Structure 1
Amino acid sequence: MRDFQLPGRSALYASNGLCATSHPLAAQTAIDILKQGGNAMDAAIAGAVLLGFCEPQSTGLGGDCFALFTDPGGGNIRAFNGSGRAPAAADPDALRAQGHDIVPEYDAAAITIPGAVEGFCRLAADHGRLGLEAILAPSIRYAEEGVPVAPRVAFDWQAARDVPRGHGKTHYLSGGAPLPVGAIFRSPGQAELLRRVARDGADAFYTGEIAEDMLSTLTALGGVHTADDFASHRGNYTDAISGTYGGKDLLEHPPNGQGATAILMLNILKHFDLSGLDPLGPERTHLEAEAAKLAYDARNRLIADPDHTTRIAHMLAPETAAKLAALIRPDAVIADPVPLTESVHRDTVYITVVDRDRMAVSMIYSIFHSFGSGYASEKFSVLFQNRGAGFCLSPGHPNELGGGKRPMHTIIPAMLAENGQATTSFGVMGGAYQPCGHARYVSNRLDYGMEAQTALDAPRAFAEEGVLKLERGYSEATRAALSDLGHKVVTPDAPIGGAQAITILPDGVLEGASDPRKDGCALGY
């Protein structure tokens, strides 16, 4: 139990249904959908779409989504891949000939086909109850009436104030300036877009006037996208991948997501007795940092569109983790093995919902960088993701840019399970940090016995780009010990990630936890 004399928040307990996400209006909307008779899938989609207006810097209809979900009762965990592909005419040789060694982040070449809208429509039809009209009604209303800008959203908006460009400036800035706390963000063009999707389904987005609006903008930017690229988009159902840690199964989304990285990282950490270490001490922090470097190196080599690589089994093999664990020394720092050959991001939204029937949904939705590519369509103000910056340009690499390919994705939903039954639905925002965040949350819960909210509140560390980022919650003694060991310790300007979690307790009660690094909360009834 937390110390009630210190700052913090309690977990939320409910019996009928619960949502945890990064904005209160989205959490309330999800609960309202449940009260209307919708299930967890309806509620998760309704809340996720609304997050595109509550947090437009982080996500939107021009982005992608991934989901893990269960049947009522919490069993039969499945996955859905709602990520878009590069246009068929995408040409890595053309970019290399222009002198690029990575896909330029704010260029039409980085804009992939949006996958989220088709994913939401398919999941609603296949696994929801209420239908699109009811699910999208709250977002249509908020897009028209507007959403007051929340504090963390304003912080991110200010940090990315130079990203919106072209029609993106018109739709996502006010007089060329970012919106401050309390300002009202409206998007009437997207309200009309959602009305059409509610009436006609995904075809309204991927064909007809909305697709033409997107294509005219992309063509003007020099993009090679075509009407066929939009009309042919389909997401797909797939099987979750899994690993074990502390007697629990960790379920992750398979490639092209990076979920295997979290499993590999925990498989490496199994070789050390973390439970005997101070959770905020230098020893645990060092081991986690070294495991992250090795796991992320494997990710950079192996994870790509599953249609183009089949080496994921190598990442999940116990032998791989054992060999990597043997490279970690308690008294030395591993130099970053390989520099990243693709871009990583820090902006995403995550929502999890469990309903009265104990159907659980873990859903994540993103436009990649803050404000994505920065470009938006003229009439319907669809902000395009720049997820194609997740490709690399190394010839022959499995994640090399190619026509019709899906890039390596950083966004990953997760669940913990026992005997095939989901016990926790959770996710961590924060771009490249996400696998490390998954591993840390699982370790906090299982190695240190932290309650769910405490596990999210606890200070975070992340070894990235040659430095070890430590949030301000670490002691000076830990910082000094890590510096003496050889880590380049820095304090990041922004918090590391953000997370949400719902635990299904043995008696069936739901426990919701929400990261204070975001504006959101857990709500239930």
Structure 2
Amino acid sequence: MRRRTFVATLPALAMAPTLARAQQGTGGGAQGTDGPGQGGAPQPATAKGADLPGHWAAREDRFIRPDVHAGDRPVGASFASRTAVYGMNGAAGTAHPFATQAGIDILRRGGSAVDAAIAMNACLGLLEPTANGIGGDIYAMIWDPKQKKVVGLAGSGASPRGLSLETVRSRAKNGALPPLGAITVSVPGTVDGWWTMHQRYGKLPWASLFEPAIAMAEAGTPVPDIIAYYIRRSMANFAKPGNGVEETANALKTWGINGGKGPQAGQVFRNPDLARTYRAIAQGGRDAFYAGDIARTIDRYFKRIGGWLRYEDLAAHRSEWIEPNRTDYRGTTVHALGANTQGIATLQMLNILEHFDLKGAGFQSALSIHLQAEAKRLAYEDRARFYGDPKFSKVPVEWLISKEYAAERAKLIRPDRILTPVYPGQAPSRGDTTYFSCADKDGMMVSLIQSNFRGMGSGLVADGLGFMFQDRGQLFSLKDGHPNIYAPGKRPFQTIIPGFATRGSDPWMSFGVMGGDMQPQGQTQIIVNRVDYGLEIQSAGDAPRWHHEGSSQSMGEDDPDLGPTGRLRLESGVPIETRKRLAAIGWQLGDPDGGFGRYECVEHRMDGATRVYAAASEMRADGCALAY
């Protein structure tokens, strides 16, 4: 057996201590947005005191060469980084190889896809803290093979009940909440989301799902390049004076090895605090987090720093099962969660695009990208005007995702010019992230997304717990009458959305694209690449992407200096002629900035009577997909 094959088959539980023993002495050994992190700059590549080989620095200019492209593959698309992996018994794809290995190990032990998803998410909270953790929220769509339907889970926490709108407005800057500090913290919903899913679909004992993450947190793991890069950017951001974070010592203690700068690529990182927190959750279930010692530690911490989250807020939290929304796109049914998410933006975009011949426009053509970007602009006007917590505001979902409304909006789009000004529709009378996918031998498929929102989160880490709290509250509106206006005990607007597609009565794709407002744009591009252009699941994700920024009505994440048509960013792989034609139409083009999302996907297919899974992973991240 070749070494690469052998290493890939090792159980994750065994991998962590093995790697740690092999690399003892190579790292500091210190305790350690859904979108990219903020602030800072790439750091030197060699860790202080580390016996590591010479290594390229993140985004080092000498390796960014427009005249140099990837090697030639004998099959598949010219831009594909690899082919999908195939298996008959199970599959998983995450943003970190160790997390994927842990999921496959759980499936091999007889666990369900939900068991594997929980184990992988727990691992990612350690391995990819720049994108997720138990201080954040969670959403999932699950193909239930017994019911033969997609079911949805919303695990989003509410704002503190003791935090008033008046206080929130007093902390606002330029009419919006700041990105950091206790004012942005809402109840973390992840652990209860795990528990709720496990109660319905789990097969293995709850405590066993945390074993891989605990082992890795204690023994340590080498940090991949991209994750190290964003941890260091976050640490630099938290260290800036006047950033609004009430307390940063705990964050620096947890991740700030190398004198507060954070780990280098390949350096071993440990988080014994998180291991202890996971042990408590493994032994005490969700109540350990929401009603036990962890909750009381959180309560004491926020009282100490002058924050607002309290024990009572945690104790009152519950996840909920919800019915996903759906639409048909050229024979494929695309599902999306409603609640307080932006999920239906994907459905709105697809409904509009159904009125155009994208296949005839041509793959990566200026017309194709123009039509998609215009559909995004129209959908996002509605997103900023109508989306919010349906428990507080009536959101006209049925109207927004109707074919009739999409037909009206599609008539506004012209192939040779940009629509301006652009407005939301008139409703009728009556408002940084990790994604992963997995599937099991029984046909269950899980599409799960989990996030602390922007970067690593609020900057706040409760004493001795080893995880950071989300800053999701930044997305509340402060405008009177807005569906998403801040209120105590209300869930903020959520950008995190899992994706799922079915064909007929069968599941097809469990997929997602991470990254703030990029998520509906990325999901739409995946569906278009597969349905309109016939790409398989790996090349559909590897294909160059576009990302439009800017809206006349922002949800708080847009650059306020963008013009009326916003900015259209294109990855470097988009053809030069396409760029020229888009500029001629009038698009303000932006350089690639790493904000094009990260994708994972598991596809279900049948070979006669035999089930076959195909799994794909994102070339823009350090993860992998595996199947068996």
TM-score, normalized by the shorter chain, greater than 0.5? yes
> What is the aligned partner in structure 1 of residue 158 from structure 2?
85
> What is the aligned partner in structure 2 of residue 157 from structure 1?
231
> What is the aligned partner in structure 1 of residue 614 from structure 2?
511
> What is the aligned partner in structure 1 of residue 115 from structure 2?
42
Task: Give the gaps of 5 or more residues in structure 2.
Answer: 1-73, 239-247, 425-431, 551-565
The answer as to whether partners of 2:92 and 2:100 remain within 8 angstroms in 1 is yes
Letter in 2 for 1:172: W
> What is the aligned partner in structure 1 of residue 438 from structure 2?
353
> What is the aligned partner in structure 1 of residue 309 from structure 2?
225
> What is the aligned partner in structure 2 of residue 169 from structure 1?
252
| Per-residue deviation, 1:453 | 0.6
| Per-residue deviation, 1:176 | 1.2
1:119 to 193, 198, 203: 193
The answer as to whether partners of 1:125 and 1:131 remain within 8 angstroms in 2 is no
> What is the aligned partner in structure 2 of residue 344 from structure 1?
none
For this pair of structures, how many residues does the alignment match? 518
Task: Give the TM-score normalised by the residue count of structure 1.
Answer: 0.95
Letter in 1 for 2:253: T
The answer as to whether partners of 2:143 and 2:445 remain within 8 angstroms in 1 is yes
Task: Give a deviation string over 1:4-26, Cα, whole Å, max 9, x none.
Answer: 88762111010110001111111
**Are 2:552 and 1:467 equivalent residues in the alignment?**
no
1:14 to 72, 87, 97: 87
| Per-residue deviation, 1:401 | 0.9
| Per-residue deviation, 1:279 | 1.5
Query: What SS does the corresponding residue of 1:180 show, helix, strand or coil?
Result: coil
The answer as to whether partners of 1:53 and 1:147 remain within 8 angstroms in 2 is no
| Per-residue deviation, 1:99 | 5.2
Query: What SS does the corresponding residue of 1:163 show, helix, strand or coil?
Result: helix
| Per-residue deviation, 1:217 | 2.5
* CA distance, structure 2, for counterparts of residue 160 and residue 503 of structure 1: 34
In the TM superposition, what are the counterparts of 1:262-411 in structure 2 within 5 Å?
262-310=346-394, 311-335=396-420, 337=422, 347-411=432-496
* CA distance, structure 2, for counterparts of residue 4 and residue 238 of structure 1: 38
| Per-residue deviation, 1:93 | 2.3
**Are 2:598 and 1:498 equivalent residues in the alignment?**
yes
* CA distance, structure 2, for counterparts of residue 4 and residue 269 of structure 1: 24
Task: Give the gaps of 5 or more residues in structure 1.
Answer: 340-346
Bigger mean CA deviation after superposition, 181-190 or 213-222:
213-222
Letter in 1 for 2:332: K
> What is the aligned partner in structure 1 of residue 50 from structure 2?
none
Task: Give a deviation string over 1:378-407, Cα, whole Å, max 9, x none.
Answer: 111220000111211111211011111111
* CA distance, structure 2, for counterparts of residue 405 and residue 273 of structure 1: 42
The answer as to whether partners of 1:292 and 1:436 remain within 8 angstroms in 2 is yes
> What is the aligned partner in structure 1 of residue 336 from structure 2?
252
**How high is the sequence identity, in percent, across the aligned residues?**
37
Task: Give a deviation string over 1:9-46, Cα, whole Å, max 9, x none.
Answer: 11101011000111111110000001111010000110
After superposition, the Cα gap between the structure-2 partners of 1:351 and 1:254, relative to the gap in structure 1 and judged at 3 Å, is same
Task: Give the TM-score normalised by the residue count of structure 2.
Answer: 0.80
After superposition, the Cα gap between the structure-2 partners of 1:323 and 1:377, relative to the gap in structure 1 and judged at 3 Å, is same
After superposition, the Cα gap between the structure-2 partners of 1:477 and 1:421, relative to the gap in structure 1 and judged at 3 Å, is same
Task: Give a deviation string over 1:209-252, Cα, whole Å, max 9, x none.
Answer: 21122222322333222211011111111101101101010011
Query: What SS does the corresponding residue of 2:237 show, helix, strand or coil?
Result: coil
After superposition, the Cα gap between the structure-2 partners of 1:486 and 1:216, relative to the gap in structure 1 and judged at 3 Å, is same
Query: What SS does the corresponding residue of 2:235 show, helix, strand or coil?
Result: coil
| Per-residue deviation, 1:163 | 3.4
Letter in 2 for 1:522: A
**Are 2:587 and 1:487 equivalent residues in the alignment?**
yes
| Per-residue deviation, 1:338 | 6.9
> What is the aligned partner in structure 1 of residue 131 from structure 2?
58
| Per-residue deviation, 1:74 | 7.9
After superposition, the Cα gap between the structure-2 partners of 1:316 and 1:206, relative to the gap in structure 1 and judged at 3 Å, is same
* CA distance, structure 2, for counterparts of residue 384 and residue 64 of structure 1: 10
> What is the aligned partner in structure 2 of residue 135 from structure 1?
209
> What is the aligned partner in structure 2 of residue 210 from structure 1?
294
After superposition, the Cα gap between the structure-2 partners of 1:290 and 1:7, relative to the gap in structure 1 and judged at 3 Å, is closer
| Per-residue deviation, 1:158 | 3.2
Letter in 2 for 1:266: L
After superposition, the Cα gap between the structure-2 partners of 1:206 and 1:5, relative to the gap in structure 1 and judged at 3 Å, is closer
After superposition, the Cα gap between the structure-2 partners of 1:210 and 1:425, relative to the gap in structure 1 and judged at 3 Å, is same
Query: What SS does the corresponding residue of 2:493 show, helix, strand or coil?
Result: coil
Question: Which of these two proteins has the greater Rg computed from alpha carbons?
Answer: 2
The answer as to whether partners of 2:136 and 2:188 remain within 8 angstroms in 1 is yes
After superposition, the Cα gap between the structure-2 partners of 1:6 and 1:487, relative to the gap in structure 1 and judged at 3 Å, is closer
Letter in 2 for 1:448: Y
After superposition, the Cα gap between the structure-2 partners of 1:336 and 1:403, relative to the gap in structure 1 and judged at 3 Å, is farther
* CA distance, structure 2, for counterparts of residue 5 and residue 313 of structure 1: 41
Task: Give a deviation string over 1:59-114, Cα, whole Å, max 9, x none.
Answer: 11101110111223682210010111101122222232455411221121110000
The answer as to whether partners of 1:495 and 1:517 remain within 8 angstroms in 2 is no
After superposition, the Cα gap between the structure-2 partners of 1:482 and 1:141, relative to the gap in structure 1 and judged at 3 Å, is same
* CA distance, structure 2, for counterparts of residue 89 and residue 6 of structure 1: 52
After superposition, the Cα gap between the structure-2 partners of 1:363 and 1:210, relative to the gap in structure 1 and judged at 3 Å, is same
The answer as to whether partners of 2:93 and 2:436 remain within 8 angstroms in 1 is yes
Letter in 1 for 2:581: A
The answer as to whether partners of 2:136 and 2:469 remain within 8 angstroms in 1 is yes
After superposition, the Cα gap between the structure-2 partners of 1:336 and 1:505, relative to the gap in structure 1 and judged at 3 Å, is farther
